Each structure stands twice: as structure tokens, then as C-alpha cells.
Structure 1
Amino acid sequence: MLPTRLPDLHPLDGPLDGPLDGPLQAIADLPRARALRDPSGAAVVDGDRRLDNTGLAAAVAELGDAFAAAGVGPGDTVAVMLPNRLEIVVAMFAAWSRGAALTPVNPALTDAEVGHQLDDSGAVLLVADDRGHEVARGRAVAVVHVDDLRGTSGAAPSTTPTVDPGAPALVVYTSGTTGRPKGCVLTHANVDAMVRAIVTHLRLDAADRSLLVLPLFHCNGLLVGVLAPLLAGGSVVVAPRFRPADFWDLVEAERPTYFSAVPTMYALIDAHTERAVDTSSLRFVVCGAAPMPADLIGRFEERFDVVLVEGYGLSECSVAATINPLDERRKPGTVGLPLPGIDVAIASADGEHLPAGERGEVLVRGATVMAGYLHRPEETAATVVDGWLHTGDVGYLDADGFLVLVDRVKDMVIRGGENIYPKEIEDVLYEHPAVLEAAVVGRPDPTYGEVPVAHVALRPGASATPDELRAHCAAVLARFKVPADVQLHAALPKNSVGKLLKPALRG
């Protein structure tokens, strides 16, 4: 296992009292730079394992040496397939120290799906547990077993890694909800721009401590949960598998100042909390990955006395494009303002940019937009046009420039010529006190062509009938928007990031 601490390095200017500003290479060089400035400062916590800055730098150096011995060099790709644990963070920095990119693999994937990612990414080495050896069998992929990362008495490297801004840093595979997963190539310039924008917008500093509850095979966990606080001079707590029943125990024990989660997680935390909790360490919390009902935002903020800022983005723009501000301008129910250096526009079907208040496809432009989909030039060209990333999401900008999401373009239901956005119905369902999760999809209909159908999971101990939920919708929505059917489920299907899987409901 990795050490809890290794011998000190020579400090430069004392403790971290601010972000590690500087050239682009500062992101890839964070472990070494932090060890030089504050050798014994907290870096990463994972259960009872606590790496200070020296320990993190030495662990990165050790694994980087192992990568070098395996022949990993500039232009290569290293894969890591592990549940959330600090070795993923170490592997990321170690790959960068060798000039290689990292592709994080979701361990919940089947062997065939893992094999596709290894083959498609061209990974030359895999960091994994016992399963990794079996999946890599027959492929030209070396394997480093996580249990062999023992740590040495060696120090961190004394030289800064050379970073090419245009070289791949991460190859993050999409969830595959709209087809076979594609590798989004995020360069070092993309990562640098994204992380610095998050630090600036959320006002992160050395006092901040992130509680990482999202998976590290996704760029939200890696960039918002790990790199942003480390760049700001703060620290990271890697949470074990998300468990709403004892979530607050971890918050009270580790005293984070923020965490980022998805709407389903917030709903589950709210539903499973049965005691008074201490949230005084939290400066704010972030919600992303899917729109969060305004009712749930207000309920969570009031109950737990914490500011919740909703954001929006996707892997193709290095995770975030907009986030609500932390000050009085915050608008719950919107997904906020564009991050520094990022432009957001709304376009009609023919590509014309629309004025405030008009609905259309959300476009994103800036230094955070991916280099492209790996090995897929045609799909890249169709997705990034003249520098604008076409997201496939429908929304509008209000008079103050805040983005309001309406729905996915492909999720729209057309009933007898009337356009119905499922999110509008879902928001109404979430206002019912018995509803925990809601998803609305279209179902073929011989008369109207398509009708909306609601799939609902109820809160623990709550009860409601389909007729009651339809009546609840009918009291608020136009008749043609009322679900033709409401189906109750114990839980709705979700992907590994916690996003609801509507294709599985269309069946």
C-alpha cells in the first residue's frame, strides 16, 4: 500500500497560503510544487490513509518510475481501473510525469466494455486490482497491480515535467447513453483552463477541503473534486462508495468545505437523513450532471443550512460551462453564469444565435472545449463547429445571462404536433411530497404519434397512486402535457455517475 508519509523535501517559501499560480505545467507538477512549499501539509485522505504533500509527491515519483520501467513515454496512454481510492490520483500525476495521458475506466463495466476502452484508447499500461490481469490478458497492455504500490524512501523528483499544452492529458469516455462510449480527448490546456476557472469562480483557497463523492473515472471527480482544491492549496478527502445513510458521519468527521454531487444523491441524502447534522464546515455544495428541481434545491438548502449552487456542463467541455455564483446574484432553478473564459450561446436549428429568452440548442465555446473524440474525426466535426461545441441540450439565457435548461433535444416528446419537454413535467412531479425520482419519456401512440409517460420512484415510507400523480400534474400543466400513464418503480435506472437512464425506460 502507499505510505502515510515519506521523508521531507526542502521547502521553498513556507506553507501554502494561496493557489499555486504559474505556467501551465503547474497543474501536472502539483505534487512536487506542493511538497516544496509545504512538505507536511495535508494533501489526500482516503479512509485511514493520509498523504501529506511529501507523501503524495513521493508516491507519484515511485509510480512514475514504475511507468518508466514499463516503457511508458510521451504520447502513450495509461489506464486506471479502480473504485474510488487515492491511487487513481497518484496514477494521473504519474502518467503526466511521463508525458502520457490517463484514461480512467469505470470498474462497473463488463470485461467486454473495459476491453473496448483499452483497445480504443490504445492504453499501453493498466493500473488495477486482480481483475485487471484477466481483462488485459491477450492484449499488449502491461499491468501494475494496485497492491504492489508499496512506497519507498525516495524523494519527489527535483525537476518539473515538461508539458505540451496541446498534448492529451485525459481521455474520458462518455457514459454511452446515446450510443457506444466515445473517448473525449482533453488536453493539458483544456484541463488547465477548466481547473483555474473553477478555482476562480468558486473562490477556492488553501482553507478549502473537497469531499470527493463522485466517481474518479469521470472528469467532474478529477477536476472539480481533486485538481481544483489541490491547485488552490487545499486538500481532498476521497469518500468510499456513496452511502446516504452515513454520509453526514463522514462530513462531520472530515470537515470538508464543499462537495459536488448529482441530483439523485441530494434526493437520497434528504430522504435518508433522520437526525440533526452538523454542516458548519460546508461553505457551499455543487450540483451537476443533470438539472436539479428548484423545489429540491430550496428544501436541501433550508434543511441543511448550506448554499447549493447548480452548474452545467459535459465531458466535451472539460466538465463545466456554467455555475451559479456564490453571492446574492445566485438564481436557484437556473444553472448559472458562464465560467471565466467560457462563452455560452443559444442557437436555432439553422445555427442562428438567438436573443435572451428564446429557446434553442446550448452552444459552448472556450479553451475548455475538447480537442475531439478519439479516432472519430467526423463525429468531432459534427459536434464542434467553428469552435462552438453543440451540446444537444435545449435551453435559453435570461435577461441577466443565466442559463436555464429545458431538456435534451432528443428527449423532446411530440404529441400531435405539440412539443413537450419532459423536464417541465418532471419538475411538477418533484413538487409532490411523495416523489423521490421522476423521469418522463415518450411512448408511441396510434392517435397522437407519441405521448408522455412518467416513471416515478417514491420516497421511503411515502405512498401515492398513479392516478393521484396524474391529478397532481393536471392541476398545473396543460392537458396535453399530463402524462398518459404513470408507472411506479422501486428505483429508476441510473448510470455509474448517478444520471437517470431514460433509454432504459423507453424499452
Structure 2
Amino acid sequence: MAGFAVALIIIMLAAGLLAAVKVSRQRNSGLAQAIALVKLKTLFRLHLPEQSSGSPAPSPDRPVVHVYPRQSGLDAAVLWSVLDRDCLHVLHPDDQRSLILFGMRLFARTAHAGDTAAIEAALASGRAVTVPCPPDAEPGSETLAAYKALAGFARKHGAVMRAMHVRGSSLSIWSAYPRSSAPRHLLPRFRLAQSGLLDFGVISPAGNGATAPRDEDRVHDLLAEVRFASNDLDRGLFLAFRDAADRYGKAGPVLEDALGGKLSYKKMLIGARVLGVRFAAMSQPGEALGVMLPNANAAIVTFLALQSAGRVAAMLNYTAGPAALVSALSTAKIRTVLASRAFVEKAGLEAPVAAIEKAGVTIIWLEDLRESISWQEKAAAFLNWRRPLQPVKAGDPAVVLFTSGSEGTPKGVVLSHRNIHANAAQAEARIDISVEDKLFNVLPVFHCFGLTGGAILPLLYGVRLFLYPSPLHYRIIPAVAREVRPSIMFGTDTFLAGYARTAKDTDFASLRLIVAGAEAVRAETRRIYRERFDATIIEGFGMTETAPVAAVNSRSHNKDGTVGRLLPAMALRLEPVEGINDAGRLFVSGPNVMLGYMLASEPGVLQPLSDGWHDSGDIVAVDEDGYIAIRGRAKRFAKIAGEMISLGAIELMVQQLWPEDFHAAVAVTDTRKGERIVLVTTRMPALRDELREYSRRFGATDLMVPGEIVNVPEIPLLGSGKTDYVTAQKIADEWIKSHRTDRARK
């Protein structure tokens, strides 16, 4: 028996050696490198970048500086196994002493970290260099300085730069991360990605809109690009969640809601398998089923069940009213709605439910469905929880969301599996998150920010998630946060300001990061959270059509008055707008940009983007470093006496004068000047003379001073937290009409 085992080992070693010899010849690499590559492919199922040769792209004639985030002691070995044999590998101090890299140090050209003379000598002789960098997505000032120095070496020696990233190595037992932030696996899957080549001698408008970016920012963007590229986006969302379960599933409960329910990845996917079987039986592959559920565990399980069954989740905005709901059902040709009786009763949604049933749409009550599930079905789900019921392609529709309707009739936005997964990966490439984090999500999952950012993103990357059913519970949410102790929270300015008014100073003490979107964040809101809660608010920008995030600030790259820089793999262009000289209309493209619209005029028919570019309808300015400043919606500019006036800029001015109140600026028809501005505000009293005097100090023109002021007890909001400008416009129109009538009577 012992002899057989020895023979088997000898045969395996011989087979491995033969495979290494073959690889060495194919790649023109050293035999030691080829042996290392065969080992890595066998043990860690190393996936290499897609090239015709099955290996990374060859280096150009010029020397290449390869930079990579050092996530483990194996990263250097992976790069040595695939790069040119003459490449100089600069080693992290820990790697210089590591036993697992003994063979690499024996056969490779190496230098210790900080040996700039060796780096310059290699580049001067035309050889490539690999340099490890800190693994953080948000680099500190020292790291940015190191990026700048590396760019300087590349410029000096006419070299180009390429970034490399080994996805999965952070989970190995040789991880550079503490166990608390990266769970360990004996043999995790490795996936190597590489960026394009960066030539520091060429300065041209970048895809992110930057015209003269700093060298350190160009390196940072290159690393973010390759971090994003290291994700496997050619999988459906169900399989992406299963991958997350494999990586982070041993950490215990990952999903929790206000009802006290706690689910691990496995329990979540078992529940999805059970429900998915039922959903598959009542619908056709690719059919859209409506989901009318609050932020609770059941909503996530239902969403995953639809993905497993190969159905499309149409997330319904139950706050929009019966007419809008029925319109959404018609637009997406939805025959079945999944809902909860307990939720309908508690939220008082009897009228929308009656309208849905009157429209001939079937409502499936999850409580009834759950009670009818047999033990045989549960047992089958337990055994098959890892497998989706229906295979899907990454480019297939996964979700239909409906635009907010803040300026008109909502449209159905169709997002693919890849769109949503890509957007989560883009955000992870810009902002540091880990299994140590807990995200407190109050934003409804029928809103794209609440779905992708507040649910899918954390669960794909091992962040624990706590769901709260309504963002409008201003007094309750701070107390819940005190008990839950989240480190990350998403919100809108309106909601965040409301929580701050009722919160105790210790309620948000656990927060390290607040990401705000959907509307501009007021300086007063930033100040309150900074001074009272020691929490930083970073502002981002997006739209349902980009799944939703398009740009975001971060702790390392943050500029007040902007919504940050474009996400990796996205591009933008600005088209001129008549009457606006310092900004343009924003168009975006990228892997997160929607498949297309569904319109009420052609129900169920996908209207794809013709050229991959989406017209955001926003007027923006982009500075030389790529930071985007929103000037306003194209529809939210008033033309007064021939000049284009931003209603958003007027709101910003008014908010600085009266920061504790809320305001909405709209335009009404004016017979003399074309249009006139009406300010709808909660300020009491709101004096026009005070506003006119402040506008001069603010630097505004007289045309920006509202001609009329309408007082309201509260500004109308949509369920997503955005200002409801349709209702605000109606308030202004009715006020103007009534005052005209009063004047006529007098």
C-alpha cells in the first residue's frame, strides 16, 4: 500500500513537471516560474486575464512599472509566475522573510522595498518592475506620495504603468489583513486581473472628465480600474451571492431586520430556493413579477428567489399611490405581485391593493405561500441551495425599477445582472468596506440606491446588513442605530437632517461613514454630523439608469461642493447647452448603464440604448481633476429675460440663508420675462427683502431672487426621499392662480 502511494506521488510530480515544461515553452518563461504557475493554478484555481495566449498581455517595447495592492504574501508569487523572467520584483518587508516565497527569492530578480536605485537601474536597462502598494481602496497621504514617486520614475525612464490585482488572495491564510476583516480559507480561488497601460507622457481628456489629473490620481484610478476588473461579472446575481456565501458564509448571520429575524448566507439561499420553485411554477422564464415588500429579510429572500428562478424582480414603489402603481404594472406587463398581508395592514396600503386587484393582477401573499410549503420542499431546498433553478446570462434582465417621477410620469428602467453586479463592484473599488462593517439601510429597496447600495453591495462583499422598514421614522431610527451600532449608513439629506433633530449625541457614535445621494447635501447637515456625531458624510451622484451610482467622493478623494469623481470603467461626455457657458449636459456610459426603458406607450417592450450612452438630463461642470459639480437638472433651469437660471442654485442659496428649513424652487409662466421663480419653503416668515439682501452677499444676480414665496408646513417628498417637484409645482401653480383671482376680484 505504501509503495502504491509513493508511486502515485511520483506520477503526480512527474505530471506536474511535464505540465510545467509545456507552460515554460508556451510562455517563454523560466522553468521555476512555470512550476509556480502550475502549482497556483492547481491549488488556487488561478484564473488569468482573458488573452488569446491564455496569459496576461505581453509588455510593450518600453519598460513597464507593474503596481499591485499587496493583499497577501502570495501576490508576489502570482505576479512572478506570469510576468517576464527578467522582471525586477520589489518585495514587501514581510515577503523578504517569508518561507513560502523562498523559491521565488532564489530564482527571481528581487529588491527590497524602498530600493529606488534598483528600480531606476532596472527601468534604465529596459526591464520591467513590480512594486507592491497598500491594499486600501482609499489611500492615505503617504500612499498617494508613493504613487507620485512611482509616476516620476516612469516619466524619467520613459516607462508605462500597468496595475495588477489578485482577487481572493486576501482570504488566504497568508493574508495581509487581520482575521477580523478578512475570513481565512485554506485554498481560496484566485483571479488575476490587469489594467490597460498608462503613459504619463500623454495628457488627454480622460474618460472621467479630468483634463489635467495629478499623477498620483492617475495611479489611484488605475488601481481602482483593475480592482473592479478582478470581479467575475459574467455570472447571474444568484451565483454571485453564492460566491459571497463561499467567501464569507462562516461569519454567522449576515442579514437582520427590525422584526428580529437573522439569516446567514446559507439560510438566505435555502429560503430563496424554496420560494423560487413556487415562483417558477406560476410564471414564465424572463417574466417580471412585482415585489411590494418593505425593507425586511423577506424582501431580500424574495429578490434572490426570483433571480434563482430566472425571473425579473419588478420593485414597486408602494408610496407612489394607486394610479402610479397600476401604471407601473401596465408598463412592465406584470401579471403577479408578491406582497405581505402584515405589511399591507401595518402600512395602510389597502387602497393600492384594491387598485392592483381591480386591474386584474394577481396578488400572492407570502404568508399563505410560506404556510403551504411542505417538508419535502424544504428538504429539497436544503440539498440544492447552491444551484439556481434556471440558468441566466449576465446580460439578461434582472430588475425593473421605476424612475422617481419627481418631474413627470415614471418609466420602467431595466437593469441586467451585470449592470447591478458591476455597480456594486465599482463602489467597492472606490470605498473600503469589510466584514467588520455593518450597514444600516433605511432606504426602500424599490429605490435603486436602497437596492444596489443598501442591500446587494454589502451582501456581495460580506458586510453585515440591518434593514429598517421606513426612512420616515425620525424619532425611532436614531434609537435603533444606538442598539444596532452600524459603521456605515446610507441616506438622503432630508432624512439625515430629520434624524439629527431627534437624535441624542451618542445615537450615531458607531458610524464611521455616511454615504448620501438622491439630493444635494446641505452644509448644515454636514456640520451637524461632523460636530455632534464625529461622522463624515460623503456625497455621491447617480440615477436609476446607472444602477444607480455614477460618481462618489471618498475619504481620500473628497471635494466639497461636488459629488465626487466618476466610478471605474465609466466614461462621460458633456454636450453644450444654450445659455450655459461653464457646464454641459451629462452623458454617461459604462457596464452599469441600463439595458433600456420600458414605456407606458409600449408596455413590456424594452427600448434599448442606441449607442450605449445615457442622457442623464443633468447639467454638470467637471474640473481638471475629474470632480463633478451638479448645476441642476436640464428641466430645472428657468429662462428669465433670455438667461438660463438654475433652480438648484437658487435652492442652495436659500438653504445657506435659512439652513434649518427646507425649500423647493420652481418656475411658473410669466408674460413679461418668460418665466418667474416661485420659492416653496417651510421658513416662517420668509421675507423676500431678507432674501434679496442675502443674494447680493452670495454673489447672485437679481434674476435669481424668487419673485414669489409660498409657505408650506412641509416640503412634499417622494418615497425615496427626493423632493417631489411635481407636487411642489402644483402648489406654486395653485398659489399663483388663487392670487391672480384675488387680484382680479379687487
Normalised TM-score (structure 2): 0.60
1:471 Cα deviation from its structure 2 partner: 3.4
More displaced, 332-341 or 375-384?
375-384
CA distance in 2, matches of 1:231, 1:487: 46
Richer in helix (by share): 2
Aligned to 1:93: 304
* Residue equivalent to 2:446: 217
396, 403, 417: which is aligned to 1:174?
A: 403
> Does the aligned pair in 1 maintain the 2:597–2:608 contact within 8 Å?
no
Q: Does the aligned pair in 1 maintain the 2:509–2:533 contact within 8 Å? A: no
Give the match for residue 231 of structure 1. 460
Structure with max Cα Rg: 2
2:651 to 409, 423, 426: 426
Q: Using the TM superposition, give the Cα deviation of residue 433 of structure 1 relative to its aligned residue in structure 2, in angstroms.
A: 4.4
**Aligned pair in 2 of structure 1 residues 409, 31: CA closer, same or farther (>3 Å)?**
closer
Work out which of the residue numbers 698, 719, 731 in structure 2 matches 1:496: 719
Equivalent-residue separation in structure 2 for 1:255 and 1:178 (angstroms): 37
Q: Deviations over 1:184-210 (max 9, x none)?
A: 110111112111111221222222221
| Correspondent of 2:273 among 61, 67, 70 | 61
2:567 paired residue number: 339
Deviations 1:355-392 (A, max 9, x none): xx931101111111111112589999999453221111
AA paired with 2:712? Answer: H
Aligned residues: percent identity? 27
| Residue 396 (structure 1) aligned with residue 639 (structure 2) | no
Note closer, same or farther for the CA distance 1:369–1:33 as it changes in structure 2 (3 Å cut).
closer
Q: Distance in 1 between matches of 2:461 and 2:601?
A: 36
Return the letter of the residue paired with 2:276.
G
The residue identity in structure 2 corresponding to 1:272 is T
Q: Secondary structure at the match of 2:330?
A: helix
Match of residue 286 from structure 1: 515
Residue 99 of structure 1 deviates from its aligned partner by 0.9
Residue 188 of structure 1, aligned match among 417, 420, 439? 417
What residue number does 2:385 align with?
Answer: 157
Rounded to whole Å, the distance in 1 between the matches of 2:437 and 2:667 is: 44
Stretch of structure 1 that moved more, 47-56 or 149-158: 149-158
Instruction: After TM superposition, give the deviation of residue 142 of structure 1 in Å.
Output: 4.3
Match of 2:426 among 189, 197, 208: 197
> 1:87 corresponds to which letter in structure 2?
A
Whether the 8 Å contact between 1:263 and 1:292 is mirrored in structure 2 is yes
Superposed counterparts of 1:345-360, under 5 Å: 345-349=573-577, 358-360=582-584
Local SS of the residue matching 1:400: coil
Aligned residues: 485
* Aligned partner letter, 1:426: E
Rate the CA distance shift 1:468–1:331 in 2: closer, same or farther, 3 A.
same
Q: Which runs of 5+ in 1 are unaligned?
A: 1-11
In the TM superposition, residue 498 of structure 1 has moved relative to its aligned partner by 1.2
- 1:384, 1:390 within 8 Å by CA — same for their partners in 2? no
* Match 1:24 to one of 220, 234, 243: 234
Tell me, yes or no, if the aligned pair for 1:412 and 1:421 is still in contact at 8 Å.
Answer: yes
Aligned-partner SS, 2:666: strand
Output one character per residue of 1:384-408: Cα deviation in whole Å (capped at 9) or x when no partner: 4532211111111012110000011
Offset at residue 267 of structure 1 (A): 2.1
Once residues 240 and 75 of structure 1 are traced to their aligned partners in structure 2, the CA distance between those partners, rounded to angstroms, is 28
Distance 2:570 2:399 in 1: 20
Contact 1:104–1:171 at 8 Å: present in 2 too? yes
Q: How does 1:253-268 map to 2 (within 5 A)?
A: 253-268=483-498
Provide the secondary structure at the position in 2 that maps to 1:370: coil
Distance 2:483 2:715 in 1: 31
Query: How far is 1:30 from its partner?
Result: 4.6
Inter-CA distance 286–102: structure 2 relative to 1 (3 Å threshold): same
Structure-1 separation of matches of 2:601 and 2:365? 34
Secondary structure at the aligned position of 1:492 is classed as coil
- Report the 3-state secondary structure (helix = DSSP H, G, I; strand = E; otherwise coil) of the residue aligned with 1:358: strand
Give the match's secondary structure for 2:718: coil
Which residue in the other structure is 1:84 paired with?
A: 295
Partner residue, 1:441: 666
Q: Within 2, Cα distance between the matches of 1:136 and 1:435?
A: 40
SS at match of 1:395: strand
Residue 26 of structure 1 deviates from its aligned partner by: 6.2
* 1:339 Cα deviation after fit: 0.8
- CA 1:321 to 1:35, structure 2 compared with 1: closer, same or farther past 3 Å? closer
For residue 334 of structure 2, what is the aligned residue in structure 1?
123
Distance 2:409 2:601 in 1: 16
Per-residue deviation, 1:266: 1.9
**What is the alpha-carbon distance in structure 1 between the residues aligned to residue 322 and residue 658 of structure 2?**
41
Equivalent position of 1:145 in the other structure: 365
Shift of 1:434: 5.4
Q: Quick check: 2:595–2:608 contact (8 Å CA) kept in 1? A: no
1:415 paired with 2:640, answer: yes
Query: 2-side partners of 1:370 and 1:291: how far apart?
Result: 23
Tell me what 2:592 maps to: 368
> How far, CA to CA, are the matches of 1:494 and 1:101 in structure 2?
28
Q: Which amino acid aligns with 1:361?
A: R
Once residues 301 and 346 of structure 1 are traced to their aligned partners in structure 2, the CA distance between those partners, rounded to angstroms, is: 34
Q: CA deviation at 1:64?
A: 0.8
CA contact (8 A) 1:289 1:312 kept: yes
State the Cα distance separating 1:169 from its structure 2 match. Answer: 0.5
Q: Can you give the 5+ residue segments of structure 2 that lack an aligned partner in the other structure? A: 1-170, 174-178, 190-230, 342-349, 734-746
